[in-house]
Amino acid sequence: MAIEALRPPEDAPPPTKAVYDGFAYFQGKIVPFAEANVSIGTHALNYGTACFEGIRGYWNAEQNEIYLLKLAEHYQRFLKSTALLKIKLDESVEQLCELTREVVRRDGYHTDVYVRPLAYKASAMIKVDLHSPEDAVAIFAMPMGAYSRIDGLRVTISSWRRVSDNSIPARAKITGAYINTALATEDANAAGYDDCLMLTEDGHIAEGSAANFFMIQGRTLVTPPVTDDILVGITRAAVMQLAADVELDVVERSIDRTEVYQADEAFLCGTGVQVAPIVEVDGRAVGSGRPGTTTLRLQEAYFRAVRGNDPRYRQWCTPVYGGMPRIT
Ligand SMILES: Cc1ncc(COP(=O)(O)O)c(C=O)c1O
């Protein structure tokens, strides 16, 4: 199959399109999205006390199916984020997976989708702590195509540092922490870049604004360790698994800023960006200045796997409309 057929359809809606129709899991029921509303007093809205996930579902036209990618893994991370914020949910990983399938099924989408689970401090109260407010969970989905370009990103090193583990832990997907992402992305885009890389407080590469970072040196794939203020990405783990298919060793270690300038290849990966080659950093070409050949092989392997077209990785894919749910 040609790589073009594996990529998200170009006519897929842009990620910024608002969702006003469809359904949501809200207050223990599946309701029309338009009815899933909260008060302006909501703790999470006022203080950023919520955590979330982003899960892609890939439409496979031949199989008439949407495959939710690494569904259980996302909810396992979700429950780790909720534990950090002392959010107690009644729903188990298995139930959240099943509810997600049900929401997308009710939506009836026949396109690539993005699922947003959100666990939040729901009480309307003025008190900044974690144990006082009541907790709630919601799940909704929307159509989504490419989130950012996958044909070569021009990035800058952000002057905003990545939030550190002792301020707001990046390893939990906390809504309030995404101010860090928004500040960095805003400045990078205003300066004409597609995205940025963010440094830890001690000056090592942490990750992209909303994606994990990899560079290729010879036959080695290098990525920052989980202790360098990253969100430990589900896509990062998938890429590390695919690395063996393209005969790459994987090393997790701290990365100096100038190593990126001198890398053979580099790319970002994440649920939103998928596998996105980096071609330029601060006006310096990475490698040849075009998407690297090994990165493109990884990208192709990724798209094949996530659309359910590689039997070796079929266990990554949970069908929405048919088959049995994959419970791990
Ligand atoms: C800050 C940040 N880092 C990394 C990632 C990649 O994580 P995942 O592959 O689990 O989507 C994301 C989310 O997409 C993110 O927001």
Domain at 198, CATH number: 3.20.10.10
Distance (Å) from CA 72 to ligand 1 centroid: 16
Residues 266 and 293 in one domain: yes
- Write out pLDDT tens, residues 188-198: 999 999 999 99
Query: Is there a single domain that holds both residue 132 and residue 158?
Result: no
Segment 100-123 shows an average pLDDT of 96
Residue 244 identity = A
* Residue 10 in domain: yes
Residue 271 within any structural domain of the chain = yes
Look at residue 209 in the predicted model and tell me its pLDDT.
97
Residues 163 and 291 in one domain: yes
Q: Give yes or no for residue 162 having a pLDDT over 90.
A: yes
Q: Quick one: what percent of the chain has pLDDT higher than 90?
A: 89
Does residue 58 lie in a domain region? yes
* Distance in Å, CA 274 to ligand 1 centroid: 10
Overall average pLDDT of the 4-33 stretch: 75
Domain membership flag for residue 322: no
Q: How many residues does the chain have?
A: 328
Provide the domain limits for residue 297: 153-311
Band (pLDDT 50/70/90 cuts) for residue 10 is low
pLDDT reading at 11 higher than 70? no
Residue 294 has pLDDT above 50, yes or no: yes
Whether 66 shows a pLDDT value over 50: the answer reads yes
Could you tell me if residue 316 is inside a domain?
A: no
* 324 lies in some domain: no
Mean pLDDT throughout 269-289? 97
Q: How many helices (H) and strands (E) does the chain have?
A: 8, 17
Domains identified in the chain, total number = 2
Domain end marker among 112, 143, 174? 143
Q: How far is the CA of 310 from the centre of ligand 1 (A)?
A: 23
Q: Given a cut of 80, is residue 15 above it in pLDDT? A: no
pLDDT at 6 > cutoff 80 = no
User: Phi and psi (nearest 5°) for 307?
Assistant: -85, 5
End of a domain among 116, 143, 170? 143
Any domain includes 321: no
Nearest CA among 172, 145, 139, 144 for reference residue 28: 139
For residue 87, what is the domain's CATH number?
3.30.470.10
143: exposed, middle or buried (C-beta count within 10 Å: 0-12, 13-18, 19+)? buried
Q: Within this chain, do residues 260 and 118 fall inside the same structural domain, yes or no?
A: no
Whether 67 has a pLDDT exceeding 50, the answer reads yes
Atom of ligand 1 nearest to the CA of 181: 1
Q: What is the pLDDT of residue 327?
A: 42
80 CA to centre of ligand 1 in angstroms: 15
Mean pLDDT on 146-168 = 95
Distance CA 284, CA 138 (A): 43
Q: How far is CA 57 from CA 102, 141, 319, in A?
A: 13, 9, 9
**pLDDT value, residue 323:** 59
Report yes or no on 328 lying in a domain: no
Which of 80, 165, 212 has most ligand 1 atoms within 8 Å of CB, for mutation?
Answer: 212
Query: Looking at residue 145, what is its pLDDT?
Result: 81
Confidence of residue 22 (pLDDT cuts 50, 70, 90): very high
Which of 81, 147, 235 to mutate to test ligand 1, by most ligand atoms within 8 A of the CB atom?
235
Do both 25 and 133 map to the same domain?
yes
Q: Which residues line ligand 1 (CB under 6 A)?
A: 54, 181, 207, 210-212, 231, 233-236, 270-272
Residue 325 confidence (pLDDT)? 44
Predicted confidence (pLDDT) at residue 200 exceeds the cutoff of 80:
yes
Mean pLDDT of 73-92: 98
Regarding whether 159 and 86 lie in a shared domain, the answer is: no
